[in-house]
């Protein structure tokens, strides 16, 4: 079985979209793949409630309990790997996981660590992407699924979605429109990785 571990910090809407797609597309039967666990660095992450209600193992690993980023990432790696009988999951999926990961963590999951970013990379890496797109007068915005590298919001682009910037858009209205596309492209990109091998 190809186990997938999803990391979240908040509401987990992309995590939920992935799980729904996996169930509807019968990943377990067709691809021998399943979402094995959802891990959050925040105990109050609402996505944990949704995951538990859908029968997925959930764990909280509070980053504030560790003396350094390196110590937290080492504990997180051990926790992630415990959710796969082979010792390492097929994919580690960042779905609103609001932590910058250390190079050792990224190297440990080289080729198997994916993220979604709310811009058309390579434009607008980092935070506040929608407001920055509006401030720059962009006519289009969007989202990007990419492999994770040690450099923030870089790595091979796996899928993208484009949405128009409409007159009167605010960062919030643009973000909401982009999010609907994230929910489509993230499960699709993960399925392609599972089909093509990781």
In angstroms, the CA 44 to CA 188 distance is: 28
Q: What is the DSSP letter of 38?
A: E
State how far Cα 68 lies from the chain centre: 23
Q: Is 117 a catalytic residue?
A: yes
Which residues make Cβ contacts (< 8 Å) with residue 161, sequence separation at least 6?
142, 143, 178, 181, 182, 184, 185
Identified catalytic residue from 83, 108, 117, 183: 117
In angstroms, the CA 96 to CA 15 distance is: 8
In angstroms, the CA 30 to CA 160 distance is: 25
Please count the residues of the chain. Answer: 198
Q: Is the distance from CB of 39 to CB of 5 less than 8 angstroms?
A: yes
Q: Rounded to the nearest 5 degrees, what angle is found at the Cα of 182, between the Cα atoms of 189 and 40? A: 90
For residue 171, the tally of other CB atoms under 10 A from its CB is 15
Annotated catalytic residues are 117
């Amino acid at each position: 079985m190809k186990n997938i571990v999803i990391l979240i910090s908040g509401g987990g809407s992309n995590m939920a979209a992935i799980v729904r797609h996996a169930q509807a597309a019968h990943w377990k039967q067709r691809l021998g793949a399943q979402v094995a666990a959802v891990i959050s660095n925040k105990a109050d992450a609402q996505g944990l409630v949704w995951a538990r209600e859908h029968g997925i193992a959930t764990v909280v690993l509070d980053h504030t309990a560790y003396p350094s980023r390196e110590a937290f990432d080492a504990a997180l790696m051990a926790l992630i790997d415990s959710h796969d009988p082979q010792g390492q999951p097929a994919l580690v999926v960042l779905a609103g996981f609001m932590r910058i990961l250390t190079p050792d963590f990224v190297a440990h999951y080289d080729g198997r660590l994916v993220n979604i970013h709310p811009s058309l990379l390579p434009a607008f890496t980092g935070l506040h992407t929608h407001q920055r797109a509006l401030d720059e007068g962009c006519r289009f915005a969007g989202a990007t699924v990419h492999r994770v590298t040690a450099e923030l919001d870089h790595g091979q682009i796996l899928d993208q979605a484009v949405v128009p910037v409409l007159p009167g858009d605010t960062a919030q209205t643009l973000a909401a429109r982009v999010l609907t596309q994230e929910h489509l492209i993230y499960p699709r990109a993960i399925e392609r990785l599972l089909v093509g091998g990781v």
